[in-house]
Amino acid sequence: MLKSFFLKGANATVSRWVVLLIDVSMVLQLFFLAYLIRFNFILDFENYHFVFQIPVVAGLSIISFLLVGSHKGTVRQTGIKDAVNVFYGATILCGFMVLLALIHREFDIFDRAAAPISVIIIHYLLNVIVLIAGRFIFKQLITRIVTEYKPARNTLIYGAGDSGMLTYATLNNAHNNCNNVIAFIDDDKSKKGKKYNRLPVLPFEKIDKNYIQANKIKEIIVSIHNIKPMELMGIVDQLLPLNVKVKVVPPVEQWIDGDLNVGQLDEVKIEDLLNRNPIRINNPILHKELNEKVVLITGAAGSIGEEIAHQVATYNYKQIILLDQAESDLYNVQQSFLRKHHLNFHVEVADIRNERRMQTIFEKYDIDIVFHAAAYKHVPLMEANPYEAVRVNVFGTRVVMDLAVAHKVDKFIMVSTDKAVNPTNVMGATKRIAEVYANCLNKLGGTKFITTRFGNVLGSNGSVIPLFKKQIAEGGPIQVTHKEITRYFMTISEACSLVLEAGAMGNGGEIYVFDMGESVKIYDLAKKMIHLSGLRFPEDIDIKIIGLRPGEKLYEELLSDKENTIPTYHEKIMIAKVDGEIDDTIMGKIQHLSTLETNDRFEIVSHIKQIIPEYISNNSDFESLDSTAKSNLAVEGVEDEVV
């Protein structure tokens, strides 16, 4: 019956007033015990007015505990701070009672209310010991009752330093914790063979599959202060073959109010292992660039657009216009801005392909800077629907660019992609056309057009990592297009920080390329994600090779063969220089393509290839267009020779 009561109320918090009532009751009982101890357990208190002192002690204890707020803590989560508060409360109570006794001695008043100082001292010591101990005993009682029905998870803590000790203490103090820590792992020779908190410190060489099975280890928590991504990757690579769940302690700056919480011990994510260190930008030029400016962000409901919006919102802007056609996602962004108390922002549900609607928006706001993140980005879908790719990535972008020029916008920063380099698919080719059109407009003067290129972003809508997670959750298999396929990855926050930085440094006409680090083999990525889920490859989850999708490359590039780079003052941002002049007729060709109304896929792609000659289709129906072009060139060559 008692267990059932505690289980039902395990998540409820005992009323703070009940805690105060219990504390006061304990103080009164201990006051009685103090008298017994002082007078050798003789129950003759008449000469000391014990009965009259009871309400005085009760009143003073209530005041003392209210002053320090010792009743506000959750008993089931009692920690050092709670114990200190109880100590302060007992000390204040003792001070009040001693003061009362001294006043009685000096002025002969409060005769019945003042207790002997010897009793007060004994009472104080009893209060400190019993009230603090009582809280911890009650906490342990509740924890045992509540967690008795939850299977304990035998756990190892990787790291026997200060962070490891703090993690162990946090696990012990958490009322909802089911981790049973049985040992620490540490290769520090000075800790070899020692015991911390009665637990052995073992070198990693002793942690093998036999040890894991013999001790039924379910989890290993990596707890190393300021661990670097590469170091964490090395540790996780060692732990993955053991088929246990691996969790990691977050950085100190992410702790809640400076305290580590069990809920923050999260499983290692694949994002943690891609060696992307956080970027902190504090550029005075960027502050000046956005100061008192009206900023339009297209595609604000997408992963990149939303993050750009949130980062811009940290500066002293004048207005932010959030624009997207996806009204549900845009609503979520709006609510996020409201929760963060951002001011002077406006939400516009609009399609960049609607010239009249976009014209109205540019007339409504005196826009200084445009961050253009609106685009169709999924390669296979755009390969099957080139008309839509052109309408959004070319025509829609052209609409926004033309309006920016007409309304004398200062800067236009376009978010492009590494797939625009030597494109092999419709999506990449249409983004490259947008880059070319931006360069054409930049030569007209006025608005400064700046392009930023980067690869895949971690966790973005439709990206590979969320897809793999879903496939694992559904029991597999994970579908990989090719065993040798690689991709570059960057965090959303990092990418958007660099977009803002590039926008600040740009003077118009530049194509900025970001340092994406090392490329990652997707097949290896899939295997790591399986292991990090606590599953085995291929026994639990297999990987299925399904073949390259239409238009897909094995390897992505950040620079074409005709480009080179020059460094900037930021180590992760480079400028790509394009060799050669742009054909004077290309602007007209882009305008013609963007208004093309045919639904013939091959006719549309044929026009794209005329504008972007380096666009060579790969694993696509449109490869036949490249073959035809080569045949025509060969025939023309023969005719020239005959002539």
364 located within any domain? yes
Higher pLDDT, 233 or 438: 438
| C-alpha to C-alpha distance for 536 and 530, rounded to whole angstroms | 7
pLDDT(228) > 60 = yes
Other C-beta atoms closer than 10 Å to the C-beta of 484 total 10
Higher pLDDT, 21 or 616: 616
Examine the fold and report which residue of 210, 243, 268 is the final residue of a domain before the chain moves on: 268
* Residue 6, pLDDT score: 41
Residues 233 and 165 occupy one common structural domain: yes
What value does the mean pLDDT take over residues 441-458? 88
Residues 246 and 347 occupy one common structural domain: no
| C-alpha to C-alpha distance for 277 and 609, rounded to whole angstroms | 39
Contacts for 633 with CB less than 8 Å, ≥ 6 apart: none
C-beta separation of 381 from 339 below 8 A: no
3-state secondary structure of 23: helix
3-state secondary structure of 314: coil
Instruction: Categorize the per-residue pLDDT at 462 as very low, low, confident or very high, splitting at 50, 70 and 90.
Output: low
pLDDT(174) > 70 = no
Average pLDDT over the chain, rounded to whole?
Answer: 81
Residues 237 and 336 occupy one common structural domain: no
Phi, psi of 51 (to 5 degrees): -60, -40
202 closest CA partner among 218, 220, 216, 180: 220
Residues 362 and 424 occupy one common structural domain: yes
423 closest CA partner among 405, 404, 436, 439: 436
600 CA to centre of own chain: 43
Higher pLDDT, 641 or 584: 584
Examine the fold and report which residue of 113, 147, 181 is the final residue of a domain before the chain moves on: 147
Instruction: Categorize the per-residue pLDDT at 2 as very low, low, confident or very high, splitting at 50, 70 and 90.
Output: very low
Residues 222 and 332 occupy one common structural domain: no
| C-alpha to C-alpha distance for 613 and 556, rounded to whole angstroms | 18
- Tell me what percent of the residues of the chain surpass a pLDDT of 90: 29
What's the number of domains the chain is made of? 3
Residues 262 and 327 occupy one common structural domain: no
C-beta separation of 428 from 622 below 8 A: no
Residues 227 and 290 occupy one common structural domain: no
Q: First CA to last CA across the chain, in angstroms?
A: 104
259-284 residue pLDDT tens: 555 555 556 666 666 655 555 566 77
What value does the mean pLDDT take over residues 571-579? 76
The DSSP secondary structure of 528-573, one letter per residue, reads HHHHHTT--TTTTS-EEE--PPTT--SS--SS-TTEEEEE-SSTTE
CATH at 326: 3.40.50.720
242-252 residue pLDDT tens: 878 888 777 65
Contacts for 314 with CB less than 8 Å, ≥ 6 apart: none
* Residue 11, pLDDT score: 40
320-353 residue pLDDT tens: 999 999 999 999 999 999 999 999 999 999 999 9
State the angle between helix axes of 426-442 and 601-611 in degrees (0 to 180), rounded to the nearest 10. Answer: 40
521 located within any domain? no
Other C-beta atoms closer than 10 Å to the C-beta of 26 total 16
127-156 residue pLDDT tens: 888 888 877 777 666 665 555 455 678 889
pLDDT(97) > 90 = no
463 located within any domain? no
Structure tokens at 310: 């949130």
Instruction: Categorize the per-residue pLDDT at 159 as very low, low, confident or very high, splitting at 50, 70 and 90.
Output: confident
> Mean pLDDT lowest for which of 258-262, 440-444, 552-556?
258-262
Structure tokens at 245: 């769940």
545 located within any domain? no
* Residue 345, pLDDT score: 95
* Residue 179, pLDDT score: 78
C-beta separation of 301 from 332 below 8 A: yes
What value does the mean pLDDT take over residues 304-314? 94
Residues 224 and 289 occupy one common structural domain: no
636 located within any domain? no
Catalytic residues: 419
* Residue 580, pLDDT score: 52
527 located within any domain? no
Q: Where does 409-562 have alpha helices with state H?
A: 426-442, 464-473, 492-505, 522-532
The burial class, CB within 10 Å (0-12 / 13-18 / 19+), for 43 is exposed
46 located within any domain? yes
Residues 129 and 199 occupy one common structural domain: no
> Mean pLDDT lowest for which of 220-229, 394-403, 520-529?
220-229
| C-alpha to C-alpha distance for 520 and 640, rounded to whole angstroms | 47
Instruction: Categorize the per-residue pLDDT at 552 as very low, low, confident or very high, splitting at 50, 70 and 90.
Output: confident
544 closest CA partner among 570, 523, 561: 523
* Residue 408, pLDDT score: 95
Residues 117 and 213 occupy one common structural domain: no
Structural domain boundaries enclosing 189: 153-268
Examine the fold and report which residue of 147, 170, 196 is the final residue of a domain before the chain moves on: 147
Other C-beta atoms closer than 10 Å to the C-beta of 179 total 23
Residues 14 and 140 occupy one common structural domain: yes
535 located within any domain? no
What value does the mean pLDDT take over residues 109-138? 81
What value does the mean pLDDT take over residues 609-634? 80
Residues 202 and 182 occupy one common structural domain: yes
Global model pTM greater than 0.75: no
What value does the mean pLDDT take over residues 79-101? 82
Structure tokens at 23: 């504390």
